[in-house]
Amino acid sequence: MAGSGLLSTLAPRIERIAGRLPRRVFVLTSAPIWALWNETFLASFPEAPIVLFLEPGEKYKSLASVEKLLREMARSGGDRGSLLIAFGGGIVGDVGGFLAAIFMRGIAYVQVPTTFLAQVDSSVGGKTGVNLPEGKNLVGSFHHPLAVFADIGVLGTLPDRELRAGLMESVKAGIIRDRTLVRFMEEHVDEVLGRDAKALEKVIAASIRMKAGVVSRDERETGLRMILNLGHTVGHALEQATGYKTLLHGEAVGWGMIATLYLARKRGTITAGQFERLENLIHLYGPLPPLKLREKKVTAATGGDKKNVGGVRRFVLPIGIGDAGVVEDVTPEELEEAVAYMLARASAG
């Protein structure tokens, strides 16, 4: 559910869904978010929940954090009837969902995402988990929350760069499944970036609808769900090639989509006009940070994407605006050309 005023009315909403408020309610959050929003969060709870903190940053999305938090839950009297509320961005959501998946073999949980990315993407679809030093998201489980409460008001404190990066996932949602969303985002840039509640709600609701629709038809990521990876093969390669330091995920996906659109135009699955329109849309929600990378480094890194099965380099390509398909025959030359185009745009700033 996405809307305004959800955070201050959380307890009765959970009660309605769960039947009653469990005796032990845990909140997993991080200190900066809790400092900003604890009063609003606590407003509707008759009894304060037990608050668990995860330090901010991808490096704490780890098994070490999971063990520490599980032990805290056990020590505070958590049992099978306990409920966990994940209150934060995608990192808190992924760790919180994973805790709920494995504590006492699984307890109920609720997602209260606080970043744009978490509201439209990571809180939808039931994927939970943590990173290993060997790679991102290598450990995890599918565990669906009882409910997702995406409060648009909470985005009021989100840094502008985080908002813009998250919006790239909505651009993606429009390109692969929703022409109306593409048009809306083209026509309402100022409202969306200005955090107008109505405009944000529209973009968020459409993005969630798209992802939930795709996921419900392909829970375990065997086929259709692949299309959610538009721009992500090159995007992940960019994140890897920059050591996960300079780019936010959505920014990497923004550049990745530009390479993908180029490839699609070359193959004729989108027209030159559509290419121009969509590339322009990505920049409207930029700026994307400039890149200083060698083409070879990026193309080499695309081979390491974990969604490749049996060494085949899978690519999601848009088909017109609002549809997409998966191809497996992208040649190294095609990829190099697309990456070169993108890097030329990215070094121009």
Residues found near ligand NAD in the complex (CB under 6 A): 30, 32-33, 36, 56, 58, 61, 88-92, 94, 114-115, 117-118, 121-122, 125, 127, 137, 154, 157-158, 162, 249
Torsion sign across C-alpha atoms 107, 112, 118, 123: positive
Give me the least distance between CB of 31 and ligand NAD, in Å please. 8
Give the alpha-carbon dihedral of 288, 292, 298, 299, to 10 degrees: 110
Residue of 236, 265, 313, 345 with catalytic role: 236
**Among 177, 229, 239, 251, the one annotated catalytic:** 229
Q: Cα–Cα distances in Å, from 212 out to 107, 151, 207, 268, 346?
A: 22, 18, 9, 29, 32
In this structure, how many other beta carbons lie within 10 angstroms of the beta carbon of residue 279?
Answer: 17
Return the number of the residue (131 or 274) whose C-beta is nearest ligand NAD.
Answer: 131
Whose CA is closest to 170, among 159, 158, 181?
Answer: 181
Compare residues 81 and 159 and give the one whose CB is closer to ligand NAD. Answer: 159
CA gap 234, 301 in Å, rounded:
8
Q: How far apart are CA 49 and CA 93, in angstroms?
A: 17
| Distance between CA atoms of residues 13 and 22, nearest Å | 13
User: Strand order in 147-148's β-sheet?
Assistant: 50-53, 25-29, 83-88, 108-113, 147-148
In the complex, the smallest distance separating the C-beta of residue 114 from ligand NAD, rounded to whole angstroms, is 3
Is 169 catalytic? The answer is yes
- Catalytic residue, chosen from 144, 177, 202, 211, is 211
105 is catalytic: yes
Of the candidates 249, 265, 313, 345, the residue annotated as catalytic is 249
Tell me if residue 211 is catalytic. yes
If the CB atoms of residues 270 and 301 are measured against ligand NAD, the closer one turns out to be: 301
Find out whether the peptide bond into 318 is cis, omega within 30 degrees of 0: no
In the annotation, is 334 catalytic?
no
- Least Å from the CB of residue 288 to ligand NAD: 15
**At its nearest, how many Å lie between ligand NAD and the CB of residue 137?**
6
143, 164, 225, 313: which is the annotated catalytic residue? 225
In this complex, which beta carbon is closest to ligand NAD, that of residue 121 or of residue 178? 121
Of the listed 144, 177, 232, 345, which one is catalytic?
232
Residue (34 or 275) nearer to ligand NAD, CB: 34
Give catalytic status of residue 61 as yes or no.
no
CA dihedral in degrees (322, 325, 331, 333; nearest 10)? 10
Q: Which is nearer to ligand NAD, 236 or 265 (CB)?
A: 236
143 part of the active site = no
Q: What tokens appear for 119 in the block?
A: 């509201």
Residue labelled with tokens 């966990």 = 84
Phi/psi of residue 81, nearest 5 degrees: -90, 0
What residues are annotated to the active site? 105, 127, 169, 211, 221, 225, 229, 232, 236, 249
